[in-house]
Amino acid sequence: MLRRCVPVILLAAGLAGCVYGGGDDWRVHYVSFGATPPQGNRVTVCHAYSCKMQTPYTFTAKDIAEIKAVMAKTKRADTPYEERRAIAYAIAYIDVKVGNKLGIRDKAGMQFGSTGDPTQLDCADVATNTTSYLLVMQANGMFKHHTVEATMSKDNYVKGVTHLNPVAYWTHWSAIVKEKESGQRYAVDRWPFDQGENPAIVKVEDWYIKDPS
């Protein structure tokens, strides 16, 4: 399994097309990355690229109340769309709060040469951490319209070579939420943005590499 936002094996026969993870069992991703899933309000934060470092953080009752307040302040209506918008603001808030505590100052995208840097995250770190934060939020009753699913990956090395830009199609990971009513799944992806910015929340078929219609 490819674990990074960079190619480990290029154009292996079984890895030529898009690869999808996801599903309703979020535990699978933690096992594959050797990461510790949330236990109550305690998460293990991945950093230094591909969960090379893992540092615990426990959300206090005050933290939980503050996150709920961000959600309540952001939502303008009781709809799935507004809940997703509130999720984006809450994840940005959590990224800053946890990052300040642990000394993480993550920059957008891939920072080449930053493997092992405890201040930086690759897409696997961001996806794992975002999934953990979403699970804590879900456990504390913050979601009415969504459930948290397993992280998801996409890649397409053949397309990268065809378009002479393989970098654009490396394996990329994202946290996933599913809208209860419609069953539509959405990627919750902060990796393209600096820590503290809202993540993109995009239908999975439109995220990163657009699915064939």
Residues 80-134: tens digit of each pLDDT? 999 999 999 999 999 999 999 999 999 997 666 657 789 999 999 999 999 999 9
Phi, psi of 65 (to 5 degrees): -65, -40
Model confidence pLDDT, tens digit, residues 170-200: 889 999 999 999 999 999 999 999 999 999 9
Residue-range domain boundaries for the chain: 15-203
Q: What is the reported pTM?
A: 0.86
